[in-house]
Amino acid sequence: MANEKTITLEINGRSETATVPPHRTLLQALRDIGHVEVKSGCEKGDCGACAVLVDGEAVDSCLTLAWTVEGRAITTITGLGGPDEPHPLQTAFADTGAAQCGYCTPGMILAAKSLLERNPDPTEEDIRIALSGNLCRCTGYTKVFEAVEQAAAELRGAGEKS
């Protein structure tokens, strides 16, 4: 296709290439190269299901053009941790029942990770604001807020960087 460009994306610590037209979103590019852990929700920036970290900041990949993040560090939920070595946020979401159907969970966890990088001791209001771009139909949010508070306390206690 005319105007397509091959770009290199740094995804979860690995370089991956994608050939994209100028209008291709990061969400589409990630899914095209096999990163189906990035969920496609509303595709207009309202739900946060597609959130990824770009240089540590949560962004809606459905609103981000792929070529604009070339060479920047992109983290999906897979890059945060897995079944063998989950991140404390992943463990806290499981322990508190914050992950129910699971569709919004990756975006919620990544938004929380971005918050904890900036603020390791957030108030409930800080958490509410940080997660305000993420919609969930299952949890009622109470357990989500508890999970973030639990993970924050664990990370502070362990002296680790979130």
Chain centroid, CA 145 distance in Å: 16
Give how many domains the chain has, as a whole number.
2
| Residue that is last in its domain, among 64, 79, 94 | 79
| Residue that is last in its domain, among 79, 103, 128 | 79
Tell me which residue of 116, 105, 113, 117 sits closest to 144, measured CA to CA.
Answer: 105
| Three-state secondary structure call for residue 123 | coil
**pLDDT at residue number 100:** 86
Range of the domain at 55: 5-79
Tell me which residue of 80, 60, 107, 74 sits closest to 8, measured CA to CA.
Answer: 74
Residue 22 forms part of a structural domain: yes
Looking up residue 126, the CATH number of its domain turns out to be 1.10.150.120
DSSP code at position 118: H
pTM metric for this prediction: 0.92
| Three-state secondary structure call for residue 141 | coil
**pLDDT at residue number 137:** 87
- Residues 120-159: tens digit of each pLDDT: 999 999 999 999 999 998 888 999 999 999 999 999 987 5
Q: Which amino acid is at 16?
A: E
Residue 162 forms part of a structural domain: no
Residue 46 forms part of a structural domain: yes
